[in-house]
Amino acid sequence: MTIFQFLVIARWIYFCSVFVLFGSSFFWFYMGRERSTAGPGGLPQTLRAIKILLRIAAPLAAISGVAWLVGILANMLDDFGGVIDPANLRLFFFETPFGPVAIIRLTLFAAAVLVAILPWQNRAWLAALLAIGALLLISQAWLGHAAEGGAGLYRALMIVVYSLHMLAAAAWVGGLPPLLFALLEQRRMDPHGARERSLDILSRYSLMGAVAVTLIVISGITNASFRVAGSFGKLFNTAYGDVLFTKVVVVAVMLALAYFNRFIAMPRLRAAPSKGMTQIARLRTSIGFELSLGVLVIGVAAILGITPPPQ
Give the confidence band of 77 by pLDDT, cuts at 50, 70, 90: confident
Which residue would you say has higher pLDDT here, 300 or 33?
300
89-104 residue pLDDT tens: 998 889 888 888 899 9
CA distances from 27 to 36, 51, 205, 251 (A): 9, 12, 8, 21
When pLDDT is cut at 50, 70 and 90, the band that residue 25 belongs to is: very high
Looking at the 3D structure of the chain, how many domains does it have? 1
Does residue 309 sit within a domain?
Answer: no
Cβ contact 145:173 at 8 Å: no
Amino acid 189: pLDDT: 66
Tens of pLDDT, residue by residue over 156-184, are 888 889 999 999 999 999 999 999 999 98
Q: How confident is the model at residue 151 (pLDDT cuts 50, 70, 90)?
A: low
Lowest mean pLDDT among 89-93, 113-117, 265-269: 265-269
Domain assignment present for 310? no
Per-range mean pLDDT, top range of 131-140, 152-161, 217-226 = 131-140
Residue 140 resides in a domain = yes
Widest CA span in the chain: 70
Segment 223-238 mean pLDDT: 73
Q: How far apart are CA 89 and CA 192, in angstroms?
A: 61
pLDDT recorded at residue 84: 86
For residue 186, what are the domain limits? 3-304
What's the confidence (pLDDT) of residue 205?
A: 95
In a domain, 87, yes or no: yes
* Residue 80 domain flag: yes
Do the domain assignments include residue 251?
yes
What is the pLDDT averaged over residues 276-295? 87
Average of pLDDT values for 259-270?
86
Residue 311 lies in a domain: no
Q: How many helices (H) and strands (E) in the chain? A: 11, 0
How far is 64 from 298, CA to CA, in rounded Å? 14
Mean pLDDT lowest among 204-208, 226-230, 245-249, 267-271: 226-230
CA distance to 8, 61, 288, 308, per residue, from 189 (Å): 42, 35, 21, 52
Confidence of residue 150 (pLDDT cuts 50, 70, 90): low
| H helix or E strand, kind and range, residue 271 | helix 266-271
Per-residue model confidence as pLDDT tens digits over 180-219: 999 988 876 666 677 788 888 999 999 999 999 999 999 9
Query: How many CA atoms are closer than 13 Å to the CA of 12, on its beta-carbon side?
Result: 14
Question: CB neighbours of 63 closer than 8 A, spacing ≥ 6?
Answer: none
Least confident of 88-92, 140-144, 229-233, 251-255: 229-233
SS3 (DSSP) at 150: coil
Q: Sign of torsion, CA 291 292 296 297?
A: negative
Whether 214 maps to a domain, the answer reads yes
Instruction: For the chain, give the percent of residues with pLDDT over 90.
Output: 51
Per-residue confidence (pLDDT) for residue 191, from 0 to 100: 60
